[in-house]
Amino acid sequence: MRKVFNSMDISETVLVRDALIRHGIEAITQNEHSGHSAVPEFRPPVEIWVARDSDYDTARRLVESTLFVIDSKTEAASWSCANCSTDNPASFELCWSCGTERVSAGP
């Protein structure tokens, strides 16, 4: 078992873990509930470990590509819902307010 990723951001960790699982890599989360600590300074980061050492190199590449996508979506411009005009983060595919699917610009 080898650690491939850690972060203080639980949502980022969940996205990385889910990407590994979608690619058939058994991923184990440790310290997942550390965010509930009463003392923030003593919270350990959430860690993702791969069960099989042979998956490590592939897992590291997937972690890097997943983080690249997260970062690109975070820095991208928000979009306005065509149905209710609510402003949504670039990473959202559905409007957080009304659930309408994001309309992509044409070619």
DSSP 3-state assignment of 73? helix
Buried-exposed string 34-65: b where 16+ CB fall within 10 A, e elsewhere: eeeeeeeeeeeebbbbbeeeebbeebeebbee
- Encode pLDDT of 8-36 as tens digits: 888 888 889 999 999 999 999 998 876 66
- Encode pLDDT of 48-95 as tens digits: 999 999 999 999 999 999 888 877 766 678 889 999 999 987 778 888
Would the pLDDT of 107 be above 60? no
Would the pLDDT of 47 be above 80? yes
- Sign of the C-alpha dihedral computed for residues 41, 42, 47 and 53 taken in this order: positive
